[in-house]
Structure 1
Amino acid sequence: MRISVTEAKAQLTELVRLAEAGEEVILTRHGHSAVRLVPVRAAPDRASRRALLEAIRASAAAKATPGPNAARSQDFLYGEDGLPE
């Protein structure tokens, strides 16, 4: 649904109900789209947030793999005598 800002002032309550119900409500200014009314997503509760953080931590820990020793990572630049090649 497209409606001008001027017309929307008189129907704001109904437009909010429509947006909450899932209908796309676009407010126009001078015939051009200006804003879209969308419902606010419910914030997750504390337990859901904690579960999500734990899942992220577990995923990150599972992906960590040991790599080469950084102290020896540039040895290919030097010869047996320890000088640059």
Structure 2
Amino acid sequence: MRVSVTEAKGQLTELVRRAEAGDEVILTRHGHAAVRLVPVAAARSRQSRRMLLEAVRASAGAKVIAGESAARSQDFLYGDDGLPK
């Protein structure tokens, strides 16, 4: 449902109820979407996904084994002039 900000002023309570019920409520300004009303639970789930991704990245970073760079791993295939041997 799309509602202009001007119209939303008079029916904010109803719009909040609809958003909590799962309806997509988009407030528009000059005909363009400006804001989407979403329940706090949905915002929390986004935050929990973000926190999970950060935890996975941190865990993966801790498992990295230091070693030689892969950038030069195939140097044995080429001579000093940069051409294949």
Q: TM-score when scaled to structure 2? A: 0.50
- Residues 31-65 of structure 1 show CA distances to partners (whole Å, capped at 9, x for unaligned) of 00000000005699xxxxxxxx8xxx7xx78x98x
The letter of the residue matching 1:31 is G
Task: Verify: 1:34 aligned to 2:67, yes or no.
Answer: no
Other structure's SS at 2:18 match:
helix
Q: Write out per-residue CA displacement over residues 5-32 of structure 1, whole angstroms, 9 at most, x where no aligned residue.
A: 0000000000000000000000000000
**Identity of aligned pairs, percent?**
72
Q: Which runs of 4+ in 1 moved over 2 A?
A: 41-44
1:6 & 1:20 partners in 2: Cα distance? 21
In 2, Cα distance between equivalents of 1:35 and 1:17: 16
Secondary structure of 2:34's counterpart equals: strand
Partner secondary structure for residue 23 of structure 2:
coil
SS state at 1:19 partner: helix
Q: Distance in 2 between matches of 1:14 and 1:22?
A: 13
Stretches of structure 2 lacking an aligned partner (at least 5 in a row): 49-54, 66-85
In 1: Cα distance, 2:21 partner to 2:4 partner = 20
Q: What is the distance in 1 between the residues matched to 2:39 and 2:8?
A: 17
TM-score (normalizing by structure 1): 0.50
Q: Which has the higher helix share?
A: 2
Larger Rg: 1
